[in-house]
Structure 1
Amino acid sequence: MATRRSGRGGGDDGIETGKLRDGEKELSIEEIFEQKEVPAWTDQLTVRSMVVSLALGFLFCFIVMKLNLTTGIIPSLNVAAGLLGFFFIKVWTTVLGKFGIQSKPFTRQENTVIQTCVVASSGIAFSSGYASYILGMTEKVAKQAEEGNTANNVKELSLGWMIGFVLLVSFLGLFSIVPLRKIMILDYKLTYPSGTATAYLINSFHTPKGALIAKEQIKCLFKWFSASFLWGFFQWFYTASDDCGFTSFPTFGLEAYARKFYFDFSATYVGVGMICPYIINLSMLSGAVISWGIMWPIIETKKGLWYGADLKSSSLRGEQGYKVFVAIALILGDGLYHFIVVLSKTFYFMAKTLLKKDSVQVTEGTSSDDDIVSFDDKRRTEFFLKDQISMKFAMGGYIVLAIISIIAVPFIFTQLEWYHILCIYIFAPILAFCNSYGCGLSDWSLASTYGKLAIFAIGAWVGMDHGGVVAGLAACGIMMSIVSTASDLMQDFKTGYLTLSSPRSMFISQVFGTFMGCILSPLVFYLFFYKAFPTLGEEGSSYPAPYGLIYRGIALIGTEGTSALPENCLLISAVFFAVAIALDALKEVLVQTNSKWHKFIPSPMAMAIPFFLGGYFVIDMCVGSLIRFVYELKNKAEADLFVPAVASGMICGDSLWGLPAAVLSLLNVKPPLCMKFLSRGVNDKVDTFLSG
């Protein structure tokens, strides 16, 4: 799934510094910082920044993994990483100050390094695919799919090969895009909205005015972090068995609960809903209503006609097949549309830029107001070009890592041959550029879409009989790792450009963060989720990991075809594929005609998720949207400042409780109580049974 990295963007003129006295010149952001010395790139990489990055990386890996294993909706974490990095270093320096130990000044460059490290680490938790293509290889998911459940199309998970694989494939994306940083940031002037928003946040933290705001934001974050953690702890006492506790509260009645419409009191998803755009939450709500409120009840009436009455509920040949493949159709339709549009815009803007350069050369000697370069731009460009990373180093690094990967990966996945991986590495830099450019234009990463293309290409090439399912899923992982890390790095280069952080410190912190993610992500997934929760990946469990089955379904289509699907499943899926493209096209038309109605067109990608999972988490997210909406009605400026802090605190606190909860589960420590809800009739029968 593609993740929408929404950030509060702005122009390149810097943050506002407040009203000035009459006759006083308003200073730009770099004029404010001009008197502060910019540390050398080696001084931007400090021991304390690496220690804080490691702690936050572990926390964020937990957050991303939990979100991946439940719904797959991951909000932009750039701002939260910048905010928490600032908080932890301030705590660090304050504590040392109490003991009379002087600390080095905390700079915005060091803050940017921490943010880069943490986002790189959590990015691996997404691109490493433990909730999608890696889980799709397991026998547990293969049994649910019921197709391709053969020895060469299944691979059981172990910590050793998972760490080895992610280490082999996660660094190539960094080397593939480094040579293009000047073109992307300076020549094409791509905005990278999330990176820009994060830079403005960090700049505001380190100005006199911003420091006061940051202090209040951190106080707010810590308050909600504590409340969220304690709420998770409180809920744990009532979950002694399945379907127990507040997470199974039938908010709208037992009939609605059976259709997965209820509020499950998740602080994580209330927080996610506060960060996600309104239209995303409303899109998911509409998807839940269309699927679980209308479609699935109708399809249930066709049992015995369209599919066998004796099939298991988890069988892809039965009702589950409609849920999985209609969701796939929406995701692929939306992904294909954005792939074509972003690619077209990429080539259009590239051609436009080249033509503009030619025009400038022809009219050399003339000038206009547009040619005037601001003080901020001059200063930022100077420091951005100061510490170069050579083309030879980047190309050499890519080639060496590619050779190592081509040799080693077939030992992990015997279904892949060396020439399959070679082909991926030939095309991957082109797709990494396209994804990075498109992300700079729209803030939309299409990493999972490129991964799905690799599934179809390699899966069909290898074939079902030779392990095409596992080969396709592994190829998806290789491609996703390259294009995802490439766009993440370019986002961070934009943040570094706007905070005068050295490209070398950015690159090294990205490498360090990627390495952290390669170790932390497998450990967190395997020890705290896969081993702690035996029902992980199964429908109805606490961690259903819906994308494991969806990605395996895509791989099956790529190798086997659609003959195994239930009746009319392909037709219904085709209709929703067309609906996804039509919705996206309609939105594009409305945007181009400057119509305000484009804001009300739902996102097909968001609609697809509850088709498989239900609407319980959507209710949480809509509650988060409602809280944000009321806050904005009351005070829009204050809401813009404090909603991200409140949401980050709720997400981090609830997710951090997942760590002790997983440890207790591993130690077989069970909650003492079970809070369960029964209908009146069932309750009467229970009372009769107990009294008898």
Structure 2
Amino acid sequence: MEIEMENVDLQQQNRQPPSSSSSSSEEEKETGGFGSYLLGMSSTIASPDEGYLSKNIKEMKLNWMIGFLFVVSFIGLFSIVALRKTMIIDFKLTYPSGNATAHLINSFHTLRGAKIALKQVKALWVSFSISFFWSFFQWFFTGGDNCGFSSFPTFGLKAYANRFYFDFSAVYVGVGMISPYMVNISLLLGSIISWGFMWPLIGKRKGDWYHASLSDSSMRGLQGYKVFISIAMILGDGLYQFCLVVYKSAQAYKIQASHQSSSSVLPVNANGSPPALGAPKISYDDEIRTDTFLKDQIPTKFAIAGYVVLALISTVVLPTIIFKQLKWYYVLLTYIVAPVLAFCNSYGAGLTDWSLASSYGKLGIFVFGAWAGLANGGVIAGLAACGVMMSIVSTASDLMQDFKTGYMTRASPKAMFVSQVVGTAFGCIIGPLVFWVFFKAFPLGKTGSSYHAPYAALYRGIALLGIEGLSCLPKHCVQLCILFFFLPIALNGARDYLKHKNYNAHKYLPNVMSMAIPFYLGPYFAIDMCLGSLILYVWERRNKAQADMLASALASGMICGDGIWSLPASVLSLAGVKAPMCMKFVPGSG
């Protein structure tokens, strides 16, 4: 149920958020790329007017798609598994979807005599039921484009045009109740800075900074600023945290070695520094969970060796057998930087529940497409690199979500890892087979088809744009990206300095990773999450003991109920059943 972000490019054009019936958006529900970057390689999507067309198309075939998935899908499982303790225990990242799933699982194994547990289960199932039937009720009003409560202009049509509205999503409200206050405040702050000031101001430079004929969804125009500035902020924050973890971990290992310590726990807390003396003790339940989580260790050497071996196999197989346009050193470079990007994506998902796999994939398109060039098959090289990058960062994030679920349910980390491997293997076979049935039965991607595959055309368009390199970006985009790359480094450095000096001001500095996400997506989900924080705050003021006991269970029910509705909604969609009404708001005639 992890909230993911891939259909945003077209949805921003229509000013419609991801459906609240599911916590993941349509384009990134499947990182196999069957409806996006893989189909975008085919002649069905390619235009006859493109140059060097023969080198920039690859027709869909079942054998190479299965082979591609087997080569790239397992590597992400090994990419940051060595940092699972840092992410789950030291950083104490919430991973709201993993947390919600754990509460739902725990509710099935509650002892009858435990009064508190029974209250939590009751709260979970009540909120689950309300959330499910609320999503069902909303469905009746979605019989058209931009219809329903999710497109309700809460603060007026002008604010709605800039994505400032409440979309009545129980998922985001529940996530907001689980996420820390500063994360939600940072999301709202990032929304105000970007959609309240930056994008409207840059939009006024239309005709000067970028061509006046371009739409706001064009990567050559305003969309280019949104995508790359948000990526720059995410990379700046993620790289800072990654380097800090590596540095502190190296220090810890050095201290342990000098004292011949046998402890397996690295003294690294959420800020990458040793825990302070007199820090509050964790609860008994958390002690048991931590002990279980650390007892069944996955050896770091095994994770590193697995990643290296799979990366070497992929480096050989991809360019020599599957994609001739993809040079071996492109693949090798991808696997060198992928663990850092996987850490950034998992860190962001742990804070906000949003996976930004598509952003990293688009970054891969631009880098490797421009490197190869159109004459050397840059479109295929860029799309293939996109697939490799998306597979790694998305799989790593999903695995860390599952580790969070395993931590909360006291499941064996080894069992969770093996289950992921088995599930991934099945997916590498079942996914392409299902796609192949649809591909042979329906005219996917063809003009006039009911299955016109808009994301395949979108990704190919980005690839054609990306082969031009930085020159295709609008004016001052690169300079702004550099500025916003160093902004999180400065803020994080200031926070760590203030904390080192024991100044309480460090608590009030925003989280830049959280600020960056609405730069691209918009403020609507940040408003939902802030409402969740407000509910929790009022609840804690009125009855803190009750809030501490029931808030997580209540939020988990909201997330799970809304997410489960996606199953019957999908069945209705496949059966061709459409909602009977369309609720839409338009400007008045006066």
Q: What number of residue pairs does the alignment pair up?
A: 531
Matched with 1:593 is 501
- Change in CA separation of 1:393 and 1:274 when aligned onto 2, cut-off 3 Å: closer
CA drift at 1:285: 1.4
Distance 1:293 1:358, change over 3 A: closer
> Which residue does the alignment assign to 1:263?
166
SS at match of 2:71: helix
1:224 aligns with 2:127: yes
Give the structure 1 partner of residue 15 of structure 2: none
Aligned residue number for residue 354 of structure 1: 257
For the structure 1 residues 134 and 599, does the alpha-carbon distance in structure 2 shift closer, same or farther, using more than 3 Å as the test? farther
Partner of 1:371: none
C-alpha spacing 1:192/1:621, structure 2 compared with 1 (3 Å): closer
CA distance in 2 between counterparts of 1:359 and 1:382 reads 13
Separation (CA, whole Å) in 2 of partners of 1:379 and 1:191: 13
Structure 1 counterpart of 2:537: 629
Are 1:128 and 2:31 an aligned pair?
Answer: yes
Give the one of 520, 528, 544 matched to 1:620. Answer: 528
- Does the 8 Å CA contact 1:138/1:156 hold for their aligned counterparts? yes
Note if contact 2:210-2:221 (Cα within 8 Å) is conserved in structure 1: yes
Q: What is the aligned counterpart of 1:407 among 311, 317, 331?
A: 317
- Structure 1 residues 194 and 255 mapped into 2: Cα distance closer, same or farther (>3 Å)? closer
Deviation at 1:267, TM superposition (A): 1.6
The structure-2 alpha-carbon separation of the partners of 1:136 and 1:352, relative to structure 1 and needing over 3 Å to count, comes to farther
The whole-number CA distance in structure 1 between the counterparts of 2:186 and 2:432 is: 32
Aligned partner of 1:471 in structure 2 is 381
Matched, 1:610 2:514: no
Amino acid at match of 1:510: Q
How far the C-alpha of 1:378 sits from its partner, in A, is 13
- Deviations along 1:19-71, one digit per CA (max 9) or x if unpaired, are xxxxxxxxxxxxxxxxxxxxxxxxxxxxxxxxxxxxxxxxx4xx545x65469
Q: What residue in structure 2 maps to residue 12 of structure 1?
A: none
Q: Secondary structure at the match of 2:259?
A: helix
Larger mean CA deviation between 474-483 and 340-349 belongs to 474-483
What is the aligned partner in structure 1 of residue 480 from structure 2?
572
1:514 matched to 2:424: yes
Question: Which 10-residue stretch deviates more, 339-348 or 278-287?
Answer: 339-348
Matches of residues 147-296 of structure 1 in structure 2 within 5 Å?
164-174=67-77, 191=90, 193=92, 211-296=114-199
Q: Which amino acid aligns with 1:239?
A: T
The CA deviation string for residues 337-376 of structure 1, in whole angstroms up to 9 with x for no partner, is 333333333333333332332899xxxxxxxxxxxxx998
Q: Residue 329 in 1 paired to residue 232 in 2?
A: yes
Structure 1 residue 458, shift from structure 2 partner: 5.1
Counterpart of 1:603 in structure 2: which amino acid?
A: N
CA 1:136 to 1:359, structure 2 compared with 1: closer, same or farther past 3 Å?
same
Query: 1:476-505: CA deviations, max 9, x gaps?
Result: 544565577568768978987998866654
Select the residue among 551, 554, 557 that pairs with 1:649: 557
SS, match of residue 219 in structure 2: coil
Return closer, same or farther for 1:607/1:495 CA change in 2, 3 Å cut-off: closer
**Partner deviation per Cα, 1:493-541 (whole Å, 9 max, x = no partner):** 89879988666544433323434565687899998x9999868659xxx
Structure 1 residue 416 displacement after superposition:
2.1
Structure 2 residue 244 is matched with structure 1 residue 341:
yes
Letter in 2 for 1:568: H
> Does 2:470 correspond to 1:562?
yes
Q: Deviations over 1:201-247 (max 9, x none)?
A: 89999786995433332322222222122112211222222232222
1:533/1:238 Cα in 2 relative to 1: closer, same or farther (>3 Å)?
A: farther
Give the CA deviation at 1:676. 2.2
Q: Evaluate the alpha carbon distance shift between residue 284 and residue 589 of structure 1 in structure 2; reply closer, same or farther with a 3 A threshold.
A: same
Name the residue aligned to 2:21: none
TM-score, with length taken from structure 2: 0.69
Report which stretch shifted further, 157-166 or 565-574. 157-166
Deviation at 1:295, TM superposition (A): 2.0
CA RMSD of aligned residues (A): 5.5
From the superposition, tell whether residues 232 and 413 of structure 1 become closer, same or farther in structure 2 (CA, over 3 Å): farther
Map residues 71-150 of structure 1 onto 2, 5 A cutoff: 128=31, 134=37
- What whole-Å deviation, never above 9, does each CA across 1:577-635 have from its counterpart, x for those lacking one? 33233222222222333333223222223222322332222221211221122222223
Q: Does 1:677 align with 2:576?
A: no
Q: What SS does structure 2 have at the residue aligned with 1:625?
A: helix
Q: Which residue number corresponds to residue 660 of structure 1?
A: 568
Q: Is the 8 A contact 2:289 2:410 kept in 1?
A: no
Q: Who wins on radius of gyration, i.e. which is larger?
A: 1
- Paired residue secondary structure (2:569): helix
Contact map agreement 2:89 2:290 (CA 8 A) in 1:
no
Equivalent pair of 1:176/1:395 in contact (CA under 8 Å): no
How do 1:482-493 and structure 2 match up within 5 A?
none
Q: Aligned to 1:577, what secondary structure does the other structure show? A: helix
Structure 1 pair 358/343, CA: closer, same or farther in 2 (3 Å)?
closer
Give the whole-Å Cα distance in 2 for the aligned partners of 1:463 and 1:673: 49
Equivalent-residue separation in structure 1 for 2:243 and 2:300 (angstroms): 32
Contact kept in structure 1, 2:186 and 2:515, CA below 8 Å:
yes
For 1:431-470, what aligned pairs fall within 5 Å after superposition?
Answer: 431=339, 462-468=372-378, 470=380
Whether the 8 Å CA contact 1:312–1:318 is kept in 2: the answer is: yes
**C-alpha distance in 2 between matches for 1:203 and 1:403:** 40
Q: Distance in 2 between matches of 1:377 and 1:304?
A: 58
Contact 1:195 1:495 in 2 (8 A): no
Q: 1:237 to 1:578 in 2, by over 3 A?
A: same
Contact preservation (8 Å) 1:590, 1:597: yes
Cα pair 1:330 1:604 within 8 Å, conserved: yes
Inter-partner Cα distance in structure 1 for 2:306 and 2:485: 42
3-state secondary structure, aligned to 2:565: helix
Structure 2 residue identity aligned to 1:630: V
Shift in Å, 1:418: 5.0
| CA distance in structure 1 between the aligned counterparts of 2:294 and 2:474, rounded to whole angstroms | 62
| Rounded Cα–Cα distance in structure 2 between residues aligned with 1:307 and 1:127 | 33
- C-alpha distance in structure 2 between counterparts of 1:243 and 1:312, whole Å: 19
- In structure 1, the gaps of 5 or more residues are 1-59, 72-121, 361-373, 539-544, 685-692
Aligned to 1:562, the other structure's residue is in SS state helix
1:283-432 aligned at under 5 Å gives the runs 283-357=186-260, 384=296, 399=309, 403=313, 406-407=316-317, 411-417=321-327, 420-421=330-331, 427=336, 431=339
CA distance in 1, matches of 2:120, 2:142: 33
Structure 1 residues 127 and 149 mapped into 2: Cα distance closer, same or farther (>3 Å)?
farther
Whether the 8 Å CA contact 1:415–1:467 is kept in 2: the answer is yes
Deviation at 1:296, TM superposition (A): 2.3
AA aligned opposite 1:626: L
Cα separation, 2, equivalents of 1:432 and 1:262: 34
CA separation of 1:139/1:495 partners in 2, compared to 1, >3 Å: closer, same or farther? closer
- Residue type of the alignment partner of 2:189: S
Is the 1:246–1:264 contact (alpha carbons within 8 Å) kept by the matching residues of 2?
A: yes
Amino acid at match of 2:481: S
Contact 2:71/2:313 (8 A) holds in 1: no
Cα deviation, 1:148-177, whole Å, max 9, x if unaligned, reads 997756778898866653333233455678
Identical positions, percent: 47
Query: In 1, distance between residues paired with 2:300 and 2:240?
Result: 36
Question: Residue 474 of structure 1 aligns to a residue in which SS?
Answer: helix
- Cα distance 1:139–1:598, how it changes in 2: closer, same or farther (>3 A)? farther
| Distance in 2 of aligned mates of 1:308 and 1:223 | 53
Deviations 1:549-591 (A, max 9, x none): 7x9979966x543222222333333332332332222222223
Letter in 2 for 1:230: F
Q: Contact between 2:131 and 2:557, CA under 8 Å: does it hold in 1?
A: yes
